[in-house]
Amino acid sequence: RPVVHAAPSVRRFARELGVDLSQVQGTGLANRISEEDVRRSAGQPSVA
Amino acid sequence: MTQNSVDYDLLVIGAGPGGYHAAIRAAQLGLKVACAEMGNVGGVCLNVGCIPTKALLHAGEGIRGAKHAEDFGLTFGEPKMDIAKLNGWKDGIVKRLTGGVSALFKANKVTHLVGEARFLDAHTVQVGGQKVTARSFIIATGSEPANLPPFPVDQQKIVDSTGALMVPDPLPKRFLAIGAGAIGLEFAQVYHNLGSSVKVIEFAPQVVPAADADAANTFAKILRKQGIAIDLGTKANGFTERDGELHVELEDVTTGEKRVEVYDRVLVAVGRRPRSANLGLEVAGVQVNERGFIGVNKKMQTSTPHIYAIGDVVGNPMLAHKAMKEGLVAAEVIAGKKSEMDVVAIPAVVYTTPELAWVGLTEAEAKAKGYTVKTGNFPLSASGRAMTLGDTDGFVKMISDAKTDLVLGAHIVAPHASDFLSEVGLALEMAATVTDISLTVHAHPTLSESVLEAAENIHKQAIHIMNR
């Protein structure tokens, strides 16, 4: 099992933005990574 | 070769589950696709694998169900199986489904090329009598039954999984399955329910060696209770045929003790080997390992980047749904998407009654990976739904990480386990915790509540059992 905890849709989103999930700090429960965490890591503005 | 001069954007070699998924997804994404197939579309799964075995299992289950109906007062005469009709019904299902794949090809404008394929160079494949060029290729040639030299398959007395699908009339009185994996056990139950006296032998010390030990042992106990003999730690050395009977020499792997037992039909189900020979892979620069598997990366690319490989030919687990997913990934990458084979777990199922189904890590695997393992169990004997179905043999075992409460795996022995196992598959992909499952309302009465209770048992809060 990979150490990153992210849903399949978030993992795909990270691939599309070219973000390495192992470098993303997840802010959710059990350090889960959200789409917002990926966006922040990619330096993209958050969407309201 | 220029990109404009090729016949197709993509040529898929093989129309099994992996190949036809790849072809259809690539066509959905706008590529000009052809799929070469030397046999029937649908591959092993539809023609001589998943589908026909499930049909036979269902038919055998009808006989078992009729006997069990006595418990609630329903009696029938002695069941009579019209074997020609059984084979015909099974073949009809296969025909409908393979016809369905052909129709999907047509609807998606996938060209079906008939014939055996062989690379002439890295951009040209000979299919039957014609040369076909393409920008990309997906090799999805699958696998075939591994042989066991002392038992040469004649598809009459010594059969592989394909031969075992043709139920003979009269039925073999004594049936031996060599190998207690999914294929051996499923056919054992088919022939047992139809009326043969059945034994399964397995070299390893447990049935379904890849499964969780507790689950596999509980499963074996239930199959034995049904009347299927299982000899573990046993191998078959060979046989002699006398008066039409097969005198098979069996050997206890630990003690070396030998004995001879008599059978009428022997199934060789000791594994499958990849079909990677005679494909001209050398001229295409595609590397194959010493066991014949094609090496691929997460994008399903081989050592020749525009040639991809998916399914059984790239390695274990040799499961249809794994091939299907890999097919989608390869097609998406070829169409320019940033797709890769990125899954937490692939479910595995043995489709007997009860089923043995699991997803994620076994207890031993979780410990080996360094997790602080917690387990929760729920026996089907405490399930109201299982009682109403007359099938209370089985259990759910859930495995979690004590530190994070994350679900690591679930191992289910239960009727229809494959259908409610998907819940745990989603939990694993979503990185759900045991608490997430506990807080999810499960319909009552259902077998799926056993997953909820096993999760609650991890926290010592299952309601319908004492929590130990």
Interface predicted TM-score (ipTM): 0.87
The yes/no answer on whether domain B158-270 falls in CATH 2.60.40.10 is no
Tell me the residues of chain A between 4 and 33 that have a Cβ less than 8 Å away from chain B: 5-8, 11-12, 15-16, 18, 29-30, 32
Chain B neighbors of A1, CB-CB under 8 A: 344-345, 360-361, 369, 408, 428
CB of B404 less than 8 A from some CB of A? yes
- pLDDT digit string, tens, across residues B427-455: 999 999 999 999 999 999 999 999 999 99
Judge whether residue B139 has pLDDT over 80: yes
Chain B neighbors of A35, CB-CB under 8 A: none
Tell me whether residue B183 is annotated as binding: yes
B433 contacts A7? CB cut-off 8 A: no
Chain B neighbors of A11, CB-CB under 8 A: 342
- pLDDT digit string, tens, across residues A6-33: 999 999 999 999 999 999 999 988 789 9
CB of B154 less than 8 A from some CB of A? no
How many CA atoms does the CB half-sphere of B385 hold within 13 Å? Answer: 16
**CATH topology of B8-145+273-335 equal to that of B158-270?**
yes
B339 contacts A12? CB cut-off 8 A: yes
CB of B44 less than 8 A from some CB of A? no
Q: What is the mean pLDDT of residues B212-234?
A: 98
Q: What is the mean pLDDT of residues B249-256?
A: 98
B361 contacts A15? CB cut-off 8 A: no
Report the pLDDT value the prediction gives residue A2, as an integer from 0 to 100.
46
Report the pLDDT value the prediction gives residue B22, as an integer from 0 to 100.
98
B429 contacts A7? CB cut-off 8 A: yes
- pLDDT digit string, tens, across residues B72-121: 999 999 999 999 999 999 999 999 999 999 999 999 999 999 999 999 99
Task: Nearest chain A residue to B434 by CA: give it.
Answer: A30
Average pLDDT along chain B: 97
Q: What is the mean pLDDT of residues B45-64?
A: 96
Chain A neighbors of B422, CB-CB under 8 A: none
The yes/no answer on whether domain B8-145+273-335 falls in CATH 3.30.565.10 is no
Judge whether residue B4 has pLDDT over 70: no
A15 contacts B338? CB cut-off 8 A: yes
CB of A3 less than 8 A from some CB of B? no
Tell me whether residue B254 is annotated as binding: no
Report the pLDDT value the prediction gives residue A1, as an integer from 0 to 100.
40
Residues of B annotated catalytic, as ranges: 444
Residue B342 has its nearest CB partner, among A1, A11, A29, at A11
Q: State the pTM of this model.
A: 0.96
Task: Nearest chain B residue to A17 by CA: give it.
Answer: B338
The yes/no answer on whether domain B347-459 falls in CATH 3.90.180.10 is no
B408 contacts A1? CB cut-off 8 A: yes
- pLDDT digit string, tens, across residues B17-44: 999 999 999 999 999 999 999 999 999 9
B408 contacts A30? CB cut-off 8 A: no
Confidence band for A44, pLDDT divided at 50, 70 and 90? confident
Domain assignments of chain B as residue spans, ordered by start: 8-145+273-335, 158-270, 347-459
